[in-house]
Amino acid sequence: MTRAQERLAARQAATARQELDGYERDLAAWQPEPPEGILPWAHQAYRHGLLAARDDLRRELGLAPAATAITTATHEARG
């Protein structure tokens, strides 16, 4: 791998880590009750999207997906 390729890979990994941090922050600040005017199912669908995107980034970075998030999402989907 050339130095340019190494620098590009490092920049891409740093960007992915920043995105992952953003998803982690959004999930930590998540409010279980939807804001006024937002349907409950849409609010939960958005959260599930955040979880899926976060887990995809974790896989891309070589990290295992957070098992608790998968368990929580599965449990909530079952009601």
| Residue 64, pLDDT score | 75
Residue with tokens 């941090």: 21
Domain extent, residue 66, equals 3-78
Q: In total, how many domains does the chain have?
A: 1
Q: Are 51 and 69 in contact (CB under 8 A)?
A: yes
Distance between CA atoms of residues 70 and 53, nearest Å:
12
Tell me the DSSP string of 18-51: HHHHHHHHHHHT--SSPPTTS-HHHHHHHHHHHH
pLDDT more than 70, % of the chain: 81
pTM of the model: 0.68
The string of pLDDT tens digits covering residues 39-74 is: 999 999 999 999 999 999 898 888 876 665 555 555
